[in-house]
Amino acid sequence: MNGSIGVYVCECGPNIKDRIDIDKVIEEISSKEDIKTIKRFSLLCSNDGKKFLEDDIKKEELTHVVVAACSPKDHEKTFMNVCGKAGVNPYLFQLINIREQCAWMIPDKEEATSKAIKYIRAGIHRVVLHNPLEKIEIESNPDVLVIGGGISGLEASLSLAGKERKVFLVEKTESLGGMAKKLSQLLPHQGANLSTIEEKIKQTEKDENIEVFTSTEVTDVKGFLGNFEVSLKADGGNGEEQKIKVGAIVVATGFRLFDPKEKPQYGYGKIENVITALEFEDMIESGKILLKNEKPPKSVALINCVGRDDKGYCSKVCCLYSIKFAHHLKDKLSDVEVTDFYIDLCLPHKDDQNYYEEAKKKGIHFLRTGEVKIEEKGGKIEVRYKKDGKSESISVDMAVLAPAMVPGEDTSKLAEMLNIPVDKTGFFKEVHEILDPISTPIEGVYIAGCALGPKNIPESIVQSQAISGKILSSLIPGKKIEPEVKVSVIREEFCTGCQTCLSVCFYGAISFDSFKGVSVVNEAICRGCGSCVGSCPSGAIWSKHFTYPQLYQEVLAALK
Amino acid sequence: MKKKDVLVIGAGIAGMKASLMLADAGVNVHLIEKESLIGGQTIKFEEVYPNMECATCMVAPIQQDVLQNENIELFLLSEVQKVDGSAGNFKVKVSKKASYVNPDACIGCGACYEPCPVSLDNEFEEGLSQKKAIAIACPGALPNVPAIDPEYCLHLNGKKKECKACQEACVFNAIDFTDKDKTIDLEVGAILVATGFDMFDLGSLDQLGYGKFPNVYTAMEFERLYAQNGPTEGKLILRDNKDLKSIGIIHCAGREEQGYCSGVCCINSMKFSYFLKHRISDAQICQFYKDLCIPGKTHQKFYEDIKKKGVEFSYYQNIKVESKKGSLHIDYKNGNGKQESFSADMVILSPAMIPRKETEQLAKILGIGLDESGFFATQNEQLSPITTEKEGIFITGCAEGPKDIPESIAQAEAAAGKILSSF
């Protein structure tokens, strides 16, 4: 056997000592295995224990170390650090869990001891095949590309740009501000007025560390965290190509509104004075809430959930802005009758319900119904609905539809370019819905705001700030990045070029070299999950710390 | 000189995520936690929507990262006492209660629990089980180090000075009865508040029968009842051991009293139905709601799937829980205005999320205001739900108002981002 292996058995106080016959373990292993030394210690993770381990590794001049103790979750890092200090590569080490997997779960001492011996034997046969792995460092570019100049993109740009970090803000249309700029006013309890947004646009335009590209599209993205190369095309994608280099990418491409024409029952586009929420925002903005005949409406129906059933989700913000419209109508046209048709009132913020109660006090009618149908009758609009199981209707001058929020039109194109997933609703998909709602599987690519799904303005801003946090803590100017070392390797001579591995790689770390006809792993992106290893029909992919010979010998020794 | 250290108050999911992000950027974080364990409310959940992942398992790696991170100094059993100064130069006084267990010596073997002669209600388990005067909150609690409750410990409260049962059982000499409460002085540049929420006191709603009828449970009690690491190891054993065949889940308990919708209870209640249908396939389940507030992009699909599994949903007004002939009855007015009744073996109430009781006190110490609902006030007019009137102090997660886990995490990371870009 090559090298000098040392085995250390931790007593873990009484936890291992009382339930496993350590003397028998030592006798069995030292008599049957080719090792330099085997020793026991009362508590290896204690300061005394770590000191003992470090000194003994040096004294015995070991090349490989096996520790039989607790779960790797508890102390794998601890002992890897000790190995490093003692001059042994931390990957020439194996921790065997004889506490949780033997001592604590097998009541019979003899049985527990025999299992511990098998485990330790397996570890010895595995560790001898370990390769020393070294951390690599890659230069990284701290600059950031922000795609989308709406409220999320503006916030991300402003919080990221600084002396040592440049931001490239790319906007498809000719001006910054996005959807928020189309609104007449913000919700009074969520922010006083739109000047905050105007202010952010001005700040962005004059910030010397932010370069703004309007009427520009992203046409290609290559590379990985710290080293992306991005192609931009001006004039709506028809102009000259320009290449920029960035370390991270923020996607803040926003949303569109569901087209009510897809649902003929609402009569949009056919019946006069049936308008969308955005059209009503324009009326508020211009100060003229007028019917087609230039007269102010005497009665208005606000229709929520337009397209909710078709899209399969609630857009969260529509109930609230319909209530905003109701307030506005009552404030401007005091004798107007306003009826708000809803299926469920979705008012999830702590200040929302109060806003609704105030609307009721102003005399606005709220009608809980199923879907409604709009027809024209005698030059007026008839809204048909069901209440308490009975069909009813009211006649109004104007109907304002609140359509669902749907994914931006470039979502799938961008997703393909960036190699990130979209979900069943067509919005970008977060890497983990709960723990990491702003990251994607591709390190260094983040999503903010409504590009991920419907949300309100403060929530979109918060997501952008959270992304800033991610970038500020991971892409520090002047600091190199250290990718995972336990990555996959492709043995070219065995690769048949079937490309199965490309389809299973969650992180986009594998590409295909069509000249050589083989798959290639980018070690800077690979996280060592092993999916490609298992999927490769020719066994051409190995995981650096889980090679087939290592696993084979480990299993063989355990079963012996 | 401006301080680059940060004080994070509360080691729930928001506090932990913010601490890790700051620590990754090289900032020294002082993380203050009132309890003897970290993880907050999230670790009480057996599973969380949408993937029905076990929350305890999902959060454990984050807890481990916090415990092992060299840039994070954790103070358990600690509370902020006094804050002076301003952004860049806060002077903070923290009071830390004695735990009587040396965390460097303890390996978490648990040999000390059994010999302890005192039992008390386990608050972490919503009082559904008992724990010893020396204990960890539940199996898997992190750090895996117990603390002694000095009020109940016979040695420490003086009722039986000679009792040293735990000390005698500990072979690692980790029990230290001489441990003292301490005051710690810190200097930090910014303060991040992540103190979370409490649940509405259902005892105040007489008509819902909580505390009156044994088989009326709060949502949090039900979470622990079906948790594998909970008091019944996940077995659905009712307080009176009755068979469980029909369940009524009542939404919006306390919504009217609080004046707001908590935004997360609808989907959480649906999660209960999903679980119950999974466990007792022929169970009759009805959810009584006022408005279905399910704004996530995948929530509605989940609702429809649950309806397909046979879970009923009924709109309600004027609801009342009664006990007739040993069985619970939910009397209510339905969506068509008709009076109806549903007979249930178990009733689960989904209470509103409310500000933690220490909120007012802490706001005073920090010199910041409260909003109308009693949560910490933030600068809405700036479109920023995380900054406060006082520069350098940030509010995140449910300390700012009811929200779900991803939103709490986004706010925590946003505050960390704000702090990093200001340094």
Give Cβ neighbours of residue B246 (< 8 Å, ≥ 6 apart). B283, B284, B285, B342, B343, B344, B345, B346
Residues A248 and A265 in one domain: no
Give Cβ neighbours of residue B121 (< 8 Å, ≥ 6 apart). B127, B130, B131
Whether a cis peptide bond, with omega within 30° of 0, leads into A72 is no
| A195 is a domain residue | yes
In whole angstroms, what is the distance from residue B311 CA to residue B307 CA?
A: 5
Can you tell me the mean pLDDT for A116-129?
97
Interface contact A461-B411, CB threshold 8 A: no
Residue B214 carries which side chain, given as an amino acid letter?
P
- What is the strand order of the sheet B327-333 is part of? B317-324, B327-333, B339-344
Which pLDDT score is estimated for B139? 84
Which pLDDT score is estimated for B226? 92
Encoded tokens for A453: 């799904």
**pLDDT greater than 70 at residue B96:** yes
Closest-CA residue of chain A to B422: A159
| A535 is a domain residue | yes
The pTM for the full model equals 0.91
Interface contact A313-B417, CB threshold 8 A: no
- Asked if residues A251 and A415 have their Cβ atoms less than 8 Å apart, the reply is no
- pLDDT tens digits, residue range B378-391? 987 667 889 999 99
Closest-CA residue of chain A to B355: A350
In whole angstroms, what is the distance from residue B186 CA to residue B202 CA?
A: 39
In whole angstroms, what is the distance from residue B90 CA to residue A441 CA?
A: 38
Residues A148 and A127 in one domain: no
Window 347-376 of B: residues touching A by CB (8 A cutoff) are: 371-373, 375
In whole angstroms, what is the distance from residue A124 CA to residue B44 CA?
A: 40
**Which residues are bridge partners to A93 per DSSP?**
A65
Strands A380-387 and A405-407, by their bridges, are unpaired
Can you tell me the mean pLDDT for A56-68?
97
| A326 is a domain residue | yes
- Asked if residues B345 and B246 have their Cβ atoms less than 8 Å apart, the reply is yes
Residues A41 and A119 in one domain: yes
Q: What is the DSSP letter of A95?
A: E
In whole angstroms, what is the distance from residue B300 CA to residue B230 CA?
A: 30
- Sketch the domain layout of chain B as residue ranges: 6-97+181-196+356-422, 102-180, 201-352
| Domain boundary pick from A108, A133, A158 | A133
How does DSSP assign B147-191, residue by residue?
Answer: EE-TTT-TTTSSTTTT--HHHHH-TT--B-TT---EEEEEEESEE
Q: Looking at the partner chain, which of A43, A196, A424 has a beta carbon nearest the beta carbon of B382?
A: A196
Encoded tokens for A494: 């065995």
Closest-CA residue to B191 (of B96, B89, B97, B95): B89
> Residues of A with CB below 8 A from B26's CB?
476
> Residues of B with CB below 8 A from A315's CB?
295
**pLDDT greater than 90 at residue B259:** yes
DSSP element (H, E) containing B193: strand B190-193
Which pLDDT score is estimated for B161? 95
Question: B264 or B3: which carries more pLDDT confidence?
Answer: B264
Fold: same for B6-97+181-196+356-422 and B201-352: yes
Encoded tokens for B47: 């599973």
Which pLDDT score is estimated for A14? 86
Residues A273 and A375 in one domain: yes
| A445 is a domain residue | yes
Residue A488 carries which side chain, given as an amino acid letter?
S
Residues A125 and A152 in one domain: no
How does DSSP assign B21-34, residue by residue?
Answer: HHHHTT--EEEE-S
> Residues of B with CB below 8 A from A463's CB?
410, 414
In whole angstroms, what is the distance from residue A257 CA to residue A276 CA?
A: 9
**pLDDT greater than 90 at residue A371:** no
Q: Give the mutation candidate from B255, B376, B383, B408 for the A interface (greatest A CB count, under 10 A).
A: B383
B377 touches chain A (CB under 8 A): no
B384 touches chain A (CB under 8 A): yes
Closest-CA residue of chain B to A162: B421
CB pairs under 8 A between A and B: 202
Q: Looking at the partner chain, which of A43, A352, A462 has a beta carbon nearest the beta carbon of B260?
A: A352
**pLDDT greater than 70 at residue B404:** yes
Identify the three-state secondary structure at position B229: coil
| A139 is a domain residue | no
In whole angstroms, what is the distance from residue A305 CA to residue A316 CA?
A: 10
- pLDDT tens digits, residue range A188-243? 666 656 788 899 999 999 999 999 999 999 999 999 999 999 999 998 778 889 99
B385 touches chain A (CB under 8 A): yes
Instruction: At A518, give phi and psi (nearest 5°).
Output: -135, 160
Residues A19 and A111 in one domain: yes
Can you tell me the mean pLDDT for B261-279?
95
In whole angstroms, what is the distance from residue A508 CA to residue A521 CA?
A: 9
pLDDT band with cut points at 50, 70 and 90 for residue B1: very low
Q: What is the DSSP letter of A102?
A: I
Which pLDDT score is estimated for B423? 83
- Full residue range of the structural domain in which residue A535 is found: 488-544
Percent of chain A scored above 70 by pLDDT? 99
A162 touches chain B (CB under 8 A): yes
- Asked if residues B12 and B34 have their Cβ atoms less than 8 Å apart, the reply is no
Q: B6-97+181-196+356-422 maps to which CATH number? A: 3.50.50.60
| A479 is a domain residue | no
Interface contact A462-B386, CB threshold 8 A: yes
Alpha-carbon torsion (A358, A362, A368, A371), positive or negative = negative
Interface contact B297-A13, CB threshold 8 A: no
Mean pLDDT, chain A, whole residue set: 94
Residues A273 and A221 in one domain: no
- Asked if residues B385 and A438 have their Cβ atoms less than 8 Å apart, the reply is no
A233 touches chain B (CB under 8 A): no
Question: A47 or A302: which carries more pLDDT confidence?
Answer: A302
**Which residues are bridge partners to B331 per DSSP?**
B320, B341
Closest-CA residue to A319 (of A336, A339, A303, A297): A303
In whole angstroms, what is the distance from residue A171 CA to residue A147 CA?
A: 6
Encoded tokens for B303: 């609702």
Interface contact A191-B296, CB threshold 8 A: no
- pLDDT tens digits, residue range A463-474? 999 999 999 999
The alpha-carbon gap from A152 to the nearest alpha carbon of chain B, in Å, equals 12
Window 135-154 of B: residues touching A by CB (8 A cutoff) are: none
CATH number for the domain including A43? 3.40.50
Window 295-334 of B: residues touching A by CB (8 A cutoff) are: 295-301, 304, 315
**pLDDT greater than 80 at residue B292:** yes
Helix segments in B87-245, DSSP class H? 165-169, 219-225
B158 burial type by CB count under 10 A (0-12 exposed, 13-18 middle, 19+ buried) = exposed
| Domain boundary pick from A375, A405, A435 | A405
Q: Give the mutation candidate from A163, A350, A411, A446 for the B interface (greatest B CB count, under 10 A).
A: A350
How does DSSP assign A341-389, residue by residue?
Answer: EESS----STTHHHHHHHHHHTT-EEEE-S--EEEEETTEEEEEEEETT
**What total number of domains does chain A contain?**
4
Cα A134 to chain centroid, rounded: 29
| A554 is a domain residue | no
A434 touches chain B (CB under 8 A): yes
pLDDT band with cut points at 50, 70 and 90 for residue B50: confident
Q: Looking at the partner chain, which of B297, B301, B406 has a beta carbon nearest the beta carbon of A454?
A: B297
ipTM at complex level: 0.94
CATH number for the domain including A241? 3.50.50.60
Which pLDDT score is estimated for B100? 98
Residues A76 and A183 in one domain: no
Instruction: At A525, give phi and psi (nearest 5°).
Output: -105, -35
**pLDDT greater than 90 at residue B57:** no
Residues A296 and A278 in one domain: yes
Q: What is the largest CA-CA distance in chain A?
A: 102
Window 268-297 of B: residues touching A by CB (8 A cutoff) are: 291-297
Can you tell me the mean pLDDT for B278-293?
94
In whole angstroms, what is the distance from residue B134 CA to residue B145 CA?
A: 10
> Residues of A with CB below 8 A from B336's CB?
388-389
Encoded tokens for A65: 């170390």
How big is chain A, counted in residues?
560
Q: Give the mutation candidate from B413, B419, B423 for the A interface (greatest A CB count, under 10 A).
A: B413
Q: Looking at the partner chain, which of A15, A437, A462 has a beta carbon nearest the beta carbon of B385?
A: A462
Residues A13 and A118 in one domain: yes
In whole angstroms, what is the distance from residue B192 CA to residue B22 CA?
A: 11
Residues A167 and A287 in one domain: no
Residues A387 and A264 in one domain: yes
pLDDT band with cut points at 50, 70 and 90 for residue A111: very high
Instruction: At B71, give phi and psi (nearest 5°).
Output: -90, 0
> Residues of B with CB below 8 A from A45's CB?
107
Q: Looking at the partner chain, which of B25, B371, B410 has a beta carbon nearest the beta carbon of A466?
A: B410
Can you tell me the mean pLDDT for A94-98?
97
In whole angstroms, what is the distance from residue B223 CA to residue B54 CA?
A: 12
**Which residues are bridge partners to A300 per DSSP?**
A338, A398
B50 burial type by CB count under 10 A (0-12 exposed, 13-18 middle, 19+ buried) = middle
| Domain boundary pick from A79, A102, A133 | A133
Interface contact A354-B372, CB threshold 8 A: yes
B172 touches chain A (CB under 8 A): yes
For B201-352, CATH number out of 3.50.50.60, 1.10.1040.50, 3.30.70.2190, 2.60.40.10 equals 3.50.50.60
pLDDT band with cut points at 50, 70 and 90 for residue B65: very high
A335 burial type by CB count under 10 A (0-12 exposed, 13-18 middle, 19+ buried) = exposed
Q: Looking at the partner chain, which of B255, B264, B417 has a beta carbon nearest the beta carbon of A465?
A: B417
- Asked if residues A517 and A494 have their Cβ atoms less than 8 Å apart, the reply is no
In whole angstroms, what is the distance from residue A440 CA to residue A422 CA?
A: 10
A436 touches chain B (CB under 8 A): yes
| A105 is a domain residue | yes
Window 439-478 of A: residues touching B by CB (8 A cutoff) are: 453-454, 457-459, 461-470, 472-474, 476
